[in-house]
Amino acid sequence: MAEVKSDTPLLPPSSRNLPDLRKSVKLKYVKLGYHYLITHGMYLFLSPIVVLISAQLSTFSLKDLHDIWEHLQYNLISVILCSTFMVFLSTLYFVTRPRPVYLVNFSCYKSEEARKCTKKVFMDQSRMTGYFTEKNLEFQQKILERSGLGDNTYLPEAVLNIPPNPSMKEARKEAEIVMYGAIDELFAKTSVKPKDIGILIVNCSLFNPTPSLSAMIINHYKLRGNIKSYNLGGMGCSAGLISIDLAKDLLQVHPNSYALVISMENITLNWYEGNDRSKLVSNCLFRMGGAAILLSNKSSDKRRSKYRLVHTVRTNKAADDKCFSCVTQEEDDDGKIGVTLSKDLMAVAGDALKTNITTLGPLVLPTSEQLLFFGTLVGKKLFKMKIKPYIPDFKLAFEHFCIHAGGRAVLDEIEKNLQLSPWHMEPSRMTLYRFGNTSSSSLWYELAYSEAKGRVRKGDRTWQIAFGSGFKCNSAVWKALRTINPAKEKSAWMDEIHKFPVDVPRVSAI
């Protein structure tokens, strides 16, 4: 029997005392009620006015309506002027309003089994090439063990060969396999014919051959001669969302058009063979992959499309020297070309993210969150109050998050700073584990994961956010037009989605 403490009150506290709200009321529901009240405040304020106007109109008799009609008959000029003005405003609205952009469907490339590269195979191959010192082999092993990558990622044939045989021919071969594989699946899903494509945008940061990648696609699929084609290079892992933003702008001026967007990276010619540690990290993280996305501005496609593009926000920090040089393709002391990742990368990425969400926040956050943020900002700046800046709860604005799977450290920082749950981070972490860093296409593997899990419901909002050299941080917001039934989907995840999620240890020994 527990001992009774001497300071335990013998009588209950007076009933006149206020109850402890933290114990008697679930603050979660108080907070939800507050958000609802603030966000819908305007509607709640206008509702009584609408009721009063409706009540007044309901008192009108047929004679009153007849008197109004008689009055208008003798003011023909006023009627004509008002009608003309209304027609003008209606025409102006329909002409100037932005065309809705729909995501009809997308596909992600999944390589054949022969291209799989376990972490052990990676280290064995690296050791057999003879390129790396023993210390740098140990360094790569430590990076791999903490990377968050699993044993089923893919590398191109030229890199897996002993010795590796990178060449322009092999790089073109990799590009063709990835691009055509994703596009073939997309055309099969949508039943769109190649000749229907009016806009083509391809982004690949480090491989820019002549003829271009977009020209290769036009030649292979015999796309029409007046197609608007673009080839984006050197724009890093965030180029996929730059392509979406460009497609959105083009679809505003080209009615009844389809836009095909290809996002990928090429590993073959960008495998680093030197011993500069700042360039070896990319070897450990980047893997083979790509995605094809079909966008449309046709009103007839709304019913069959998966998503509608709501917002795109682009942030570019290239004017700052530190941001500009934090990810650089350059030669090492021995003339070997690789991509240098600066030690300032995480700080630069954080600064770019802050700028991006500051712009995006007012577009997507509930009014309640914006007022809380503004209130703490005023209190801190104007009244010099010692309070922490309020971090908006983006979970109130989005149901799904697709964060570029650049590496475990990046995902950890974003999870902490945006106060996301493991459930929200799951698509990004599982994509990194299963496919590695596939550069600009990783966002689409993540969205495909959410679909394969049956998580996407009609009306759900998805935030895609990616980082890239320059330095850039770009966002896209999509709204689901229908509930995605995974049983009817064909994607890179479908034949193995039952195995996920998996536990990814902080250190996975090789």
Short-list 169, 147, 168, 170, CA closest to 160: 170
The confidence score (pLDDT) of residue 80 equals 78
Q: Residue 369's pLDDT is what?
A: 84
Q: Look at residue 18 in the predicted model and tell me its pLDDT.
A: 42
The backbone region for 222, taken as left when phi is positive above 0, alpha when psi lies in -120 to 50, beta otherwise, is left
Burial per residue of 478-489, b for 16 or more beta-carbon CB atoms within 10 angstroms, e otherwise: bbbbeebebeeb
Q: Which of helix, strand or coil describes residue 240?
A: helix
Residues 46, 111: Cα–Cα separation, whole Å: 57
Give the distance, in angstroms, between the CA of residue 369 and the centroid of all CA atoms in the same chain: 21
Q: What are phi and psi of 277, to 5 degrees?
A: -60, -30
Rounded to 5°, angle at Cα 10 from 8 and 12: 100
C-alpha to C-alpha distance for 175 and 290, rounded to whole angstroms: 9
What is the H or E stretch that residue 241 is in? helix 239-253
436: which DSSP letter?
-
CATH number of 102-363+391-499: 3.40.47.10
136 close to 283: Cβ distance less than 8 angstroms: no
State the pTM of this model: 0.85
Residue-wise over 254-267: b if at least 16 C-beta within 10 A, else e?
eeebbbbbbbbbbb
pLDDT at 370: 81
DSSP one-letter code for 467: E
Separation CA 89–CA 421 (nearest Å): 47
Residue with tokens 């190649």: 194
Sign, Cα dihedral of 435, 437, 440, 444: positive
pLDDT at 273: 94
State whether residue 234 is helix, strand or coil: coil
Q: Which of 399, 369, 428 is nearest to 237 (CA)?
A: 428
Q: Tell me the C-alpha distance between 368 and 374, whole Å.
A: 10
Nearest-angstrom CA–CA distance, 168 and 123: 25
Extents of the domains making up the chain? 102-363+391-499
* Cβ contact 295:104 at 8 Å: yes
Q: What whole-number distance in Å separates Cα of residue 411 and Cα of residue 266? A: 23
pLDDT score of 361: 87
* Contact residues for 248 (Cβ-Cβ < 8 A; gap 6+): 101, 295, 309, 312
Q: Residue 32 has what pLDDT?
A: 56
pLDDT beneath 70, residues of the chain: 1-44, 72-74, 76, 92-97, 389
